[in-house]
């Protein structure tokens, strides 16, 4: 019998706007086996309860008040073997408008392709959740799904989510914020 695994990817970005004055865009994801997601959520919920933290976890929200909670979140990540983080750093000065039909939004999703594509395994399936960028980006994520599936056909779902509702996406935000 062939083993077939499913994984969830929780993706976020930092400094991604074209004219935000930042040279580098960071794109990253937290990935975990689908069958471990419930337990991971429960464990983070327990950490939140321990520290009485109901606020969204974000690098920009790190302060003296929640430092211990954030440190325990980082330890939570490094103490586990069933959760992974990957990020890419993109030099926005290397954006070549002509290669993206002068469409910076297209460039943005091409960078997500670069982040995700290289570590996909054709014996697994994937659910990909991206932090919602704007109301017009649903077309782009469907395009991203089609492009990822051209050679592999293993992306089951790709959708936008609100980061304040997804703890694993918030953990990703914390890590890419540290990188940026």
8 A C-beta contact, residue 156 and residue 125: yes
What's the confidence (pLDDT) of residue 180? 85
pTM above 0.95, yes or no: no
Dihedral pair phi/psi, residue 5, rounded to 5°: -100, 155
Lowest mean pLDDT among 140-144, 163-167, 172-176: 140-144
Q: How confident is the model at residue 1 (pLDDT cuts 50, 70, 90)?
A: very low
What's the confidence (pLDDT) of residue 17? 56
For residue 127, give both structure tokens. 């659910």
Model confidence over 46-89: pLDDT tens digits?
Answer: 999 999 999 999 999 999 999 999 999 999 999 999 999 999 99
For residue 73, give both structure tokens. 């979140």
Average pLDDT of the chain to the nearest whole number: 86
Terminal CA-CA length for the chain = 44
Please give the Cα distance from 117 to 110 (Å, whole number): 10
What's the confidence (pLDDT) of residue 131? 86
pLDDT above 80 for 159:
yes
Residue, of 18 and 112, whose pLDDT is higher = 112
pLDDT above 70 for 124:
yes
Comparing C-alpha atoms, which of 79, 84, 65 is closest to residue 168?
Answer: 84
Handedness of CA 37, 109, 117, 84 (dihedral sign): negative
Model confidence over 11-52: pLDDT tens digits?
Answer: 998 755 556 667 788 999 999 999 999 999 999 999 999 999
Q: How confident is the model at residue 91 (pLDDT cuts 50, 70, 90)?
A: confident
Q: How confident is the model at residue 98 (pLDDT cuts 50, 70, 90)?
A: low
What's the confidence (pLDDT) of residue 2? 47
Q: What is the DSSP string of 21-84?
A: S-SEEEEEEEEEEGGGHHHHHHHHHHHHHHHT--SPP-GGG--TTTHHHHHHHHHHHHT-SS-E
Please give the Cα distance from 41 to 39 (Å, whole number): 5
What's the confidence (pLDDT) of residue 144? 79
């Amino acid at each position: 019998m062939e083993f077939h695994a499913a994984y969830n990817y929780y993706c976020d970005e930092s400094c991604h706007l074209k004219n935000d004055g930042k040279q580098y865009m960071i794109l990253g994801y937290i990935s975990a086996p689908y069958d471990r997601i419930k337990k991971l959520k429960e464990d983070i919920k327990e950490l939140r309860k321990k520290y009485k933290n109901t606020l969204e976890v974000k690098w920009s929200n790190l302060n003296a008040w929640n430092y211990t909670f954030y440190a325990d979140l980082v330890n939570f990540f490094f103490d586990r073997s069933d959760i992974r983080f990957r990020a890419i750093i993109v030099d926005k000065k290397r954006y070549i408008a002509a290669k993206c039909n002068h469409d910076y939004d297209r460039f943005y999703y091409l960078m997500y392709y670069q982040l995700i594509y290289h570590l996909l395994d054709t014996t697994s399936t994937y659910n990909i959740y991206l932090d919602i960028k704007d109301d017009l980006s649903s077309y782009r994520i469907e395009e991203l799904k089609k492009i990822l599936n051209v050679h592999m056909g293993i992306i089951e779902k790709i959708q936008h989510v609100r980061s304040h509702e997804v703890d694993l996406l918030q953990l990703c935000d914390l890590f890419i914020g540290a990188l940026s």
